[in-house]
Amino acid sequence: MKEDNKLIEILAQQGVSRRGFMKFCAGLATLMALPPAMIPKIASALEQAVRPSVIWLSFQECTGCTESLTRSHSPSLESLIFDAISLDYHHTLQAASGDAAEEARHHAMKEFAGKYLLIVDGSIPLANPGYSTIAGISNLDMLVETAKDAAAIVAVGTCATYGGLPKAKPNPTGAVSVSDIIKDKPIINVPGCPPIPTVITGVLAHFLTFGKIPALDSAGRPLSFYGDSIHDRCYRRPFYDRGKFAKTFDDEGARKGWCLYELGCKGPTTHNACATTKWNAGTSFPIQSGHPCIGCSEPGFWDAGSFYKALSTPIGDVSGAAATAIGAGIAAGAAMGMANRAKKQKAVDSHQKLTVDDLKK
């Protein structure tokens, strides 16, 4: 990789015209969930941007995050973004293996010290380094070594961001997140199990474009994608406001597409872009397909109780609470959200297990 390769030159070499470049910038703005007014600023920034080196490390993970990214639904834009970065190490995607692969990582770390972007998926086991190794190197050692000279770190997926499934109680491997270990680098958390592919790409695009990390929320997530709750942007929200809820998966309410709150939907306490960006080329998202949100982009969601009952199936009467929300508007909705978060914490603390009865509910 030539360090002085500018993105605009790379695009021009591929025959991308000015209009194509502006279209690319418009696509990036949508990817980054930025308003169209930012398109000229994106174009201006990209004209000066230099192609960054990217090192991708995979630890205790299922490869679902990589699968999600490589199945992104806008191939021309995605391929341009990938052409615009230099993916110097990704042990699932790269052709090199063994010593050659590790040499590629060390070469990128040395040549682009202080400038490369480190992407991590998977959690890091601390109970015993032997639980997960790459080329005989423990995940912990590889992360610390590679993070040392990184410009920034993107933790992709709920395992890397918050520990995910490996960290679920009783956490046999002593799994922790990237931010539990690395304290002296900017870290962007892109949670989800897996994250929405366009959200992963959007975060990469932001770093490509502006050379810095986006604005983050208190959980380290980009506000542009995780700023709203699923509930805020859900097309079924009007049913919630009217107090119309599905009670089971095959009742009249379910067939009519009513709100899934009483079936355990975690939308009110979950922050992600599923309701707007959607999945599979914008086809649908879980709630649109008739299933409650399970809250996979929230810390500790595996230990937050049953997907169908414990977290948000209310102890009291939801219809009454919803009716209050209609009367009092947003304030009551916010109060219900706070109550849900309290229930969620309670469920996390008590670690309610999913039972067959829960599924039959």
Partner 1 sequence: MSDGARIPVNIEVNPREEQPAFTGRLSAMLSEILQALEALHENGEQHEIDLLTLPLSEPEKEKLTEILGQGEVDITINTLGLSTIRETAVSGVWWLNHFNNEKTLLAEHIVIACEPPLVSVGRDEVGADISVFQQQLSKLQMSEHVQ
Per CB under 8 A, residues contacting partner 1 are 16-20, 22-24, 26-27, 29-30, 33, 35-37, 39, 73-77, 80, 233, 235, 237-239, 255-258, 275-276, 281-282, 288, 290
Closest Cα to residue 286, out of 298, 273, 302, 275? 275
CB of 331 vs partner 1, minimal distance in Å: 18
Residue 160 C-beta: closest distance to partner 1, Å: 26
Residue closest to 85 by CA, chosen among 227, 211, 172: 211
16 vs 134, which CB is nearer to partner 1?
Answer: 16
Q: Are the beta carbons of 73 and 137 closer than 8 angstroms?
A: no
Find the DSSP H helices in the chain. 7-13, 18-31, 39-48, 64-70, 75-83, 98-111, 139-147, 157-162, 164-167, 178-181, 197-210, 223-226, 230-233, 237-242, 252-255, 274-277, 318-328, 330-350, 356-360
Residue closer to partner 1 by CB (options 26, 87) is 26
What's the min distance (Å) between Cβ of 254 and partner 1? Answer: 9
Is 26 or 140 the residue whose CB approaches partner 1 more closely? 26
Residue 158 contacts residue 196 (beta carbons within 8 Å): no
| Six token digits for residue 166 | 């490996």
d(CA 44, CA 54): 23
Residue 305 CA: distances (Å) to CA of 46, 161, 169, 339, 350? 45, 20, 11, 15, 8
Residue 256 CB, shortest distance to partner 1, in Å, is 4
Residue 333: CB minimum distance to partner 1, A: 15
Residue with tokens 């590790």: 102
Nearer to partner 1 by Cβ, of 20 and 337: the residue is: 20
Question: By C-beta, is 180 or 241 nearer to partner 1?
Answer: 241
Give whichever of 79 and 345 is closer to partner 1, judged by the CB atom.
79
Count of helix runs (H) and strand runs (E) in the chain = 19, 9
Least separation in angstroms between residue 40's CB and partner 1 is 9
